[in-house]
A and B are shown apart, each in its own frame.
Chain A
Amino acid sequence: MAIVLYRIDDRLVHGQVVIGWGRAMGIDLIILVDDQVAASDWEQELYRMAVTPEIEVRFVTMADAARQMSEWQANGKRALVLTGDLETMAALRTSNPDVVQKINLGGIHHRAGRRERLPFVYLTDQELRALQALEAGGAVITAQDLPTTVPVALKALG
């Protein structure tokens, strides 16, 4: 399998992603799916600074990702697909249900209306229901900030 992790992390490309997961899983390609960053050379440069030279980083829009997902799945690189929010990952799952099957909740932090489910996962009830709907549709969703910690099933977050 070429894409080895689908992660939602609102801090985008940062140490946990690059060092924590990147080293443990032998990642050599990080694909950040974020319309805003994909449109900003300046922000892309900022995020590139967090990545070691051995890892390639691509910045793509949601629309481009939906089109290229199967290609990434088929190429030889071990890729990590990263989104900053639930909505983008849900859209990727909807557009490519045969590819996006396991989703990692890696960092969804506090905002107004969200309630703490884990120290690194805060969700509104509406967001929780959206995730439950994805899981009811066949996706497997767990919360896990680092590969050295125990994954927590979505049903334990309710």
Chain B
Amino acid sequence: MSEELRGVVVCHGALAGALVQAAEQISGLNGALVPVSNTGCDRDTLEDRVRAAVDGKPAVVFVDLASGSCLVAVLKRLRDEHLVKVVTGVNLAMLVDFVFHRSLSPAEAAARAAAAGEKSIRIP
């Protein structure tokens, strides 16, 4: 990929902003992730926020839940975008992995981030 991937994080409430801030603090990389909140908006407005965040660029979109208003907005707006992949169940581990692998294809970066996220879930 000639253009590095954009990461868009779509969550309920203030979660996306907090996750992006934490990922930037850990990685030292700023600007790779764009937070989107569903606070205070209806379906159309949330879809517009998602579209504006992706901005027609190759991207991986991370969503908090595998159902609900955030995922509905993302899939309705982006299902025909071939250069966008969606990962649900976002956590900090997958975002930190993603920001260091933005030169991969959207599918490769999404698969890699999802695996990193799954691997971080343990009962130590």
Please list the residues of chain A having a beta carbon within 8 angstroms of any beta carbon in chain B: 10-12, 14-15, 43, 46-47, 49-51, 84, 107-111, 119
Contact = CB atoms under 8 A, between A and B. Distances in A.
- Most B CB within 10 A of own CB, among A11, A12, A43: A11
B37 to A, nearest CB: 12
A15 B68 contact: yes
A110 B41 contact: yes
- Most A CB within 10 A of own CB, among B43, B72, B75: B72
A109 B40 contact: yes
Q: How large is the interface on B (under 10, 10 to 19, 20 to 34, 35 or more residues)?
A: 10 to 19
Contact of A111 (B12, B45, B71): B45
Nearest to B66: A49
Contacts of A12: 43, 69, 72
A138 B119 CA distance: 56
Interface in B65-122: 65-69, 71-72, 75-76
A11 B72 CA distance: 9
Interface of B: 12, 38, 40-45, 65-69, 71-72, 75-76
A47 B40 contact: no
Nearest to A45: B75
Contacts of B75: 46
A51 B76 CA distance: 18
Given A15-B12, A43-B76, A46-B75, A110 B69 contact: no
A51 B71 CA distance: 13
Given A46-B75, A46-B76, A111 B42 contact: yes
B42 A10 contact: yes
A49 B76 contact: no
Nearest to B75: A46
14 contacts: A10-B43, A11-B43, A14-B68, A15-B12, A15-B65, A43-B76, A46-B67, A49-B67, A49-B71, A50-B68, A50-B72, A84-B43, A107-B42, A109-B42
Given A46-B75, A109-B41, A14 B69 contact: yes
A50 B43 contact: no
A49 B12 CA distance: 17
A15 B11 CA distance: 12
A111 to B, nearest CB: 7
Contacts of B65: 15
- Most A CB within 10 A of own CB, among B43, B44, B69: B69
A47 B75 CA distance: 11
